[in-house]
Structure formats: structure tokens, C-alpha cells
Structure 1
Amino acid sequence: MNKYLKNGFIGALIASLLIAGNALNTGSASAASSTIGIRINNSFADTDVATYITNGTTMVPLQVAQQIPGSSVQWNNSSKTVTLTRNGEITTLVAGQKTAKIENKEVKLEAASTLKQGRVMVPLRFIAESTGAYVLWNPKQRVVFVAKPNKELKEQLASSSLAEARTAALKFPRVSSLEAFKITDNEGGNQEYYFPEGKADQFFLSGGNGISYYVVAGNHSEEKWTATFNSESGSNGLFFLLRKITNQDGELPKITSRIVFFHFMGHVGEANYGFIEPNGKVSTLGTKGMELNQFFDIPEEKKS
């Protein structure tokens, strides 16, 4: 692969990464329109029938609900019934009825399943939560986030290896209630990762002129703070990012401990890595081969 194709490929991968939950992306701009986007485990769900909200409930085509992993969602046209099966438990919804049955227990729905433009429309939150997924509505982006990591990813996050745990953290389904700021192109495929020393469940992800802070909790990774910055030096509350903040949303985290950094250089497939002290002193420990979102252990660091 020649270097231009390689750079373009790496750049596309990084763009995909930022879109997968980072509010600092141009891909989320489509969500700022009147349409409603559905993100299931970091990917937008495709549908030929528009999602809509009724009685405060997001209604989606059945085909969208069927993309949520870990369960079976089927439609019986003769009885007009949606049947969801998860771990042997059966939940049923009948089109036009504002109740559902979980086994033999009847529960009330805010909106009934219905037929529209030849498609079965179902209440997304009820279906998603019935499968064990986490659901978050972002009115700023007009996006519904649905998060449900698999068992293997959860086990990887709990690994005693910081490299394995951090790799899992970057793959965890991301959700956000924050704004989406437009960021500049990330030339060269560079990516900055910052972790509080010894931790995998908190991280900063920076590319182009944007940065976001995530915390992994339960079955999702939530964006807690997002910002854009320019090239001017300035105090912004982050001792490892001495740049002037131009836009931000969320709460800037208080980080007082040493930071571990990975400066990924996509065009060469390597990363500079090391520590940044609270006083701003940078200690680069070395350079090592690295793939996008695939970390390696640093001998000088232990998992806390």
C-alpha cells in the first residue's frame, strides 16, 4: 500500500473513531437537523423510514430494534405482534395496544407499536431496555444512543493488563448528552490519548483541534466534557493541554495526578508515549509500534 493510500485509510479510521461518540465531529452534524439519528454501539442505524417522537417516545422501524445485540426481535404479521426473546424471557407487543407483556406481567407503554408506510414502528427505549441495553437521548444532537457491549468486551475491560483494559475502553459503546462541535481535519492520522496514571476507565481523546473526556460506567462510556481549541497557548485547567479553549460543553474534569500519554502517528503506525507531571513536565519514555486504539503496556506503570 503506498503512503498516500495508507494515510487516507488511517485518516478514515480516525474519522470513524471520532464519530463513534465524540461530540467533536462533523459526522454528527446530520443529527443537528430535524432528523433523529439512532446510534447502536457506535454505529448509526440505517432505515428507509424516518424515526419520529410521539408522547415523548422515539419510534423506530422494527429493523432498527433488531440491530440491538443479544436478543431476538420478530414480527408476526397475522397477529400483528412483536415478540422479543432474551435469555429465555419473552416480551410481546401488539400493534395498536399501549400495553406489553413480559412473560405474564402486563406493563404500560407510553406509545403503542404501529404500522407506518409499510413498516412496523416500535418504541425504541422499551425494546432496548428490555434487551438490557442503556439508552440516552441527546436533544442537542437529536441522537438516541443505545449501548450494549458484549461479554467479551466487559471481560477485557476488567483485565489486569492496562493495555487490554484501555483497548476495551476505547471500543466500549459511547454515549453523549453534549453538543457536537465541528473539528478541523486530522492531517497525518495523528491521535492523542491521555489516561490518568494507572487507569483505563477514564480517558481523553484528542484529534485535530478537538478533545473529549470519557468515563466508562456500567455498559457504556459517557462523554463528560468536550471542547475545541486553537494553537494559542493558554491556561484551560488541563496541565497537559496548554491551548486556548474556543468552545466547550459539559464539566471540565479535575485531574491532579500524573497523566500517561500516547501520541499515535498514523502515517508510520507508531506512538510516542510517556508521562506528563501535574507541573506540565513531559517525560517521553520511547516510541513503539501501535495500531489505532490498540494500546501496549508501559513497564513503568501499574494498574490502580
Structure 2
Amino acid sequence: MKKVIVFVFFFVLMFQSWAIADAANPITVNAVNVNGKFIATDVSPIIEDGRVLVPIRTLASLGVTYQWDNKSQSALITKDKDQIKLTANEKEAFKNNKAVQVDVPVQMIQGRILVPIRFVLENFGYKASYEKLRSILFIQDSNYKVDQENLQAEDLQEARQAAISLPVQFSFKSLSSLEKPGANKEYTYIFPRGDSSRYMYGNNVGNTVVEVKDGVDV
């Protein structure tokens, strides 16, 4: 498999850029990547007390079903034979009718239901990780493997998309300014001409150079 390692700065040519819209929430998640694919969300996920909450509709991308009871302000989330019940503003949840505790309760923001994603996914056998550098939430099921063919695709844009869909791994301490609101409000990906094996990620804080190398994806 592949992993992404940070290297020293080098000059490259522009590939493409995106802008992230302003949000009312103090700290928002830049993007959500499910099994190597970026997905759209109707409202931005947020970070609350160090926990990531995502719109409940995001769960549909994982084959998870849910029902929202407006009267009780509770969500019943189901996958196969397992069920989780979460109630807005309450830290007590229920898994298969047994009481469990959550660090952050369900919240209602901009008319949307946001749930604590790590708690939900880990109870259903998924893996969730948050990459602070680019503020991206990565979600993977137990059978997910990096598609090596996409990383080496003849279609350059497809290969570049696969490259930025890998979590960036780094050993240095990330800047505290990355956690401030607006750090990733505007950002760019820049690749060398004709190359998909390395890129520069730039945001409101600074620039980071990333290279795709052989190894184990930790």
C-alpha cells in the first residue's frame, strides 16, 4: 500500500484550487473522505471538545440507515442487526438497548442533525481518523484497501485525485494555528507538471510539501 510523507519545500506548477465557504461554526472540518472518495455534505462537519460531528445524512454513504424522531429529538441508527440510539444534548446513548456514554451529544445546527462520528462508526466496525493538516475526516470500512491502480493511472487527474485522497502522515508537531477557525478557508493543491507523486498543499497558515512513497499506510 501507499502512505504520504511530508518532505522539504520545492517549486511546482499549479494544478487546481478550491475555496471553502464561510461557516457559522467556530471550527469546521474541511472535507469528508469515505473509502478513498471525497463526498459532499449538506452542512460542514464540526469539531466540538476535540470530537468530530458530521451531518447524519453522511451515514448513507456507508450503507448505514437512520431514523430521526422529531418529538423525542433522537436518532436511531442501524447497520445489519446493530442499533444505536442517540438523543440531542444527552450524553447517554443506547447500543442494542444497553446504555453507553458518549463524549459529545447529538447537536442540531442550521436545521441539520450532527452526530459524533467516531462513536457511531467504531460501534459499527468502521475506522474514523481526522487529519489535522488539511482538516479532513477519513472514514474507512474494514475491507477498504488503497487502490494502487488509481495512484498510477494514466489519466493524470485521476492519479492526482487518488494522491490527495490519502491521509497525510507527518512526524512533526502541527501548528496550533491549523486548529483556528478559517485556517483552511481557502486552500490549493499544486502538482509538478506531468507528475502525481508529489504535491504542495497551501492554506491560510502556510505551505506543506507531500510525497507519495511506498510503505505501509498507518
* The two structures share one fold, judged by TM-score above 0.5: yes
- 1:214/1:130 CA distance change after superposition, 3 Å: farther
- 1:38/1:208 CA distance change after superposition, 3 Å: closer
Deviation at 1:74, TM superposition (A): 2.8
Equivalent position to 1:50, from 33, 44, 63: 44
Task: Indicate yes or no: 2:132 matched with 1:139.
Answer: yes
Where does 1:138-157 land on structure 2 (aligned, <5 Å)?
138-148=131-141, 150=143
Where does 1:205-216 land on structure 2 (aligned, <5 Å)?
206=197, 211-213=211-213, 215-216=215-216
Where does 1:1-304 land on structure 2 (aligned, <5 Å)?
35-36=28-29, 37-69=31-63, 71-148=64-141, 150=143, 167=149, 174-178=166-170, 182-187=189-194, 206=197, 211-213=211-213, 215-216=215-216, 221-222=217-218
1:136 and 1:177 in contact (8 A); partners too: no
1:145-195 CA-to-partner distances (Å, cap 9, x unmatched) read 111254xx66xx9xxxxxxx9559988x843344899543443xx66xxxx
1:38 and 1:144 in contact (8 A); partners too: yes
Deviation at 1:49, TM superposition (A): 1.9
- 1:41/1:208 CA distance change after superposition, 3 Å: same
Q: Distance in 2 between matches of 1:184 and 1:147?
A: 26
Deviation at 1:94, TM superposition (A): 1.3
Deviation at 1:63, TM superposition (A): 1.2
Q: What TM-score do the two structures reach when normalised by structure 2?
A: 0.60
1:222-261 CA-to-partner distances (Å, cap 9, x unmatched) read 4xxxxxxxxxxxxxxxxxxxxxxxxxxxxxxxxxxxxxxx
Q: Distance in 2 between matches of 1:208 and 1:168?
A: 16
Deviation at 1:72, TM superposition (A): 2.0
Give ranges in structure 2 of 5+ residues lacking alignment: 7-13, 153-161, 175-186, 201-209
Q: Secondary structure at the match of 2:191?
A: coil
- 1:106/1:52 CA distance change after superposition, 3 Å: same
Q: Distance in 2 between matches of 1:27 and 1:35?
A: 22
Deviation at 1:58, TM superposition (A): 1.0
Give ranges in structure 1 of 5+ residues lacking alignment: 1-20, 158-164, 192-205, 223-304
> 1:46 is aligned with what amino acid?
A
1:74-110 CA-to-partner distances (Å, cap 9, x unmatched) read 3222332211222311111111211111113211111
Q: Distance in 2 between matches of 1:86 and 1:119?
A: 21
The count of aligned residue pairs is 169
Q: Distance in 1 between matches of 2:43 and 2:199?
A: 34
Q: Distance in 2 between matches of 1:43 and 1:23?
A: 20
Q: Secondary structure at the match of 2:62?
A: coil
1:90-138 CA-to-partner distances (Å, cap 9, x unmatched) read 1111112111111132111111102121111111111222221111111
1:26 and 1:182 in contact (8 A); partners too: yes
Deviation at 1:214, TM superposition (A): 5.2
1:44-83 CA-to-partner distances (Å, cap 9, x unmatched) read 23223222111111111111233224x3233222332211
2:87 and 2:93 in contact (8 A); partners too: yes
Q: What TM-score do the two structures reach when normalised by structure 1?
A: 0.45
1:140 and 1:177 in contact (8 A); partners too: no
Q: Secondary structure at the match of 1:140?
A: coil
Structure with higher Rg: it is: 1
